[in-house]
Chains A and B, each alone.
Chain A
Amino acid sequence: MQRRTFLCTLGVSCLSLCVPQITFAASKALVVYFSKTGEQYGVGVISKGNTAIVAEMIAKKTSADLSEITRVDDTYPKTYQALCDVAKDELTKKVRPKYSMSITDLSGYQTIFIGAPVWWGDWPMVMYSFFEQANLAGKMLIPFCTHEGSGLSEFDKKLAKACPKSRVGQGLAIVGRDAQKHSAKVDTALDGWLKKLAAQGVVF
C-alpha cells in the first residue's frame, strides 16, 4: 500500500515537472504580414487590407504575436490601376524597398507565419527585403497569401529560395474578397490548415 502511494506520488511529481517544460518548449509563434488598404481589386476601397484580416485571424487562433511590415516612405498609390504599374515596375527592377515592422527581435520565435497579397504572381518586393535582411535562419516559415485567382503562386518555393537556411511549411491561399465578405469561409479554411500544420509537427 505504502509502496503504491509512493509510486503514485513519484508519477505525479514527474508529470508536474514535465508539464511546465512542455509549455515552455512551445514558444509563441509570430504572424508577419504586408497588406494594403485603399482601392483593391473586386472589393472597392477598403480600410483594412485583405491580408491584414487573415493575419489577425491566424494570430488570434494560434495566440501568436502579430507584426505588420510596412514600407518606409510608403509611396504606393491608393488606386488599384496605379498600384499595379508601380508594383510591376518594382518587380521587373527587383527593387528591395526599405521596410519597417513593430517587432524587430525575432530570436524568440521558432515559427513565423508570413503573409502578403499576390502581386503580379509574386510576393511584393518589400517582402523580399524582409526575407533577405531579417534573421530567419533555422526558423519554420509558413507562407500565406490573399489573391484574386492566382492561388498560392508558388509563394512557398519562392520563400524557400529566398531563405535557404529556414524550413518552409505548407502554405495557404485565401481569396481577397472572401477575407472582406465571407469570414466564415476563411475561418473554416484556416482551421483545416492549422490542424494540418499541427499534425505535421509545426509548433505554434
Chain B
Amino acid sequence: MRMIIQVMLVGSLLALMAYARLGEEVHEILGTSMLLFMFVHLWHNKTCLANIFHGKSPRARIFHSICALLLILILCLQGISGIVVSKHLFAFMQIPGSAFARAIHLCLAYWCFVLIAIHMGLKATRFIKLLTTYFRERMYLVILIYLSIAFYGFLVFTRSDILDYMLLNKAFMSYNSDEPMIVFFLEHIALGIFFITFGMIINKMSKYLSSK
C-alpha cells in the first residue's frame, strides 16, 4: 500500500508537469488527487513525522526534515494557488488574486518537482541496497546507466526554462511544444533522476558529517 501511494505520487507529479498537453481539466483532477495522495503518504509516515524534531541523531536527518517540511508547505500552497487559478473544478469560487496565484503556482511547480526528486534521493538508501544485492558484480553497469541518464537530465535542465520559472523570471506557461508526449515524459524522468542524485549526495554528506 505504501509503495502504491508512492508510485501514484510520482506518477501524478509527472502527469501534472505535462499540464499543457493533458489539458486543464485533467490537470486539476490530478492536482487534487495528488494532494490527497500526499495526506495518505503522510499518514503512512506519521511516526517519522512525529519524530522530526527529536529522536536519534537529528543532525543526520536535518536535510530529510527540512526537505519534507518544505514539501508539505509547498504542496499545500500549490493546492491553494491551484484552487484560485482553477478554470474548471473550483472556478465557481471566484477567488480574487488570480494573477499572483498563477505566478506562484507556476514557480512552485518546479520547486516541487526538484524537491520531490531530492526527497526521493535522500530516501533511496534502501533501494540502492536492494539493487546492490541483486546486481552484485554488475553494479558498475547499473551505476553507468544511472549516471548517463542523470547526465541527460542535466542537459534537459540546461536547455529548458526551468530555472527561469523557479526564479520567477518567467511567469507564463508555454503551450507550444511539438515534441511527442513520450519524449516529454522520458525527459522529465531523466530530469528527476538528475535531481535525485543531489538527494543521494546530500544524504551521504550528512551521514559523513554527523558520524564525525
Residues of A that sit less than 8 Å from B by CB: 41, 80-81, 84-85, 88-89, 91-92, 118, 120-121, 147-154, 173
Contact = CB atoms under 8 A, between A and B. Distances in A.
Contact of B175 (A89, A91, A148, A151): A151
A153 B174 CA distance: 8
A84 B95 CA distance: 11
Interface stretch (B72-80, B97-105, B140-148): B97-105
Contacts of A118: 172
A88 B173 contact: no
Contacts of A173: 176
Contacts of B171: 41, 148-149
A91 B98 contact: no
Interface string B160-185: 00000000001111111000000000
Q: Name the residue among B100, B171, B172 with the largest chain A CB count within 10 angstroms.
A: B172
A85 B99 CA distance: 7
Interface in B53-110: 85, 87-88, 91, 94, 96-100, 102
Interface residues of B, number: 18
B9 to A, nearest CB: 27
20 contacts: A41-B171, A85-B96, A85-B97, A88-B87, A88-B98, A89-B94, A91-B87, A92-B87, A92-B88, A121-B175, A147-B172, A148-B171, A149-B170, A149-B171, A149-B172, A150-B172, A150-B175, A150-B176, A151-B174, A152-B176
A84 B98 contact: yes
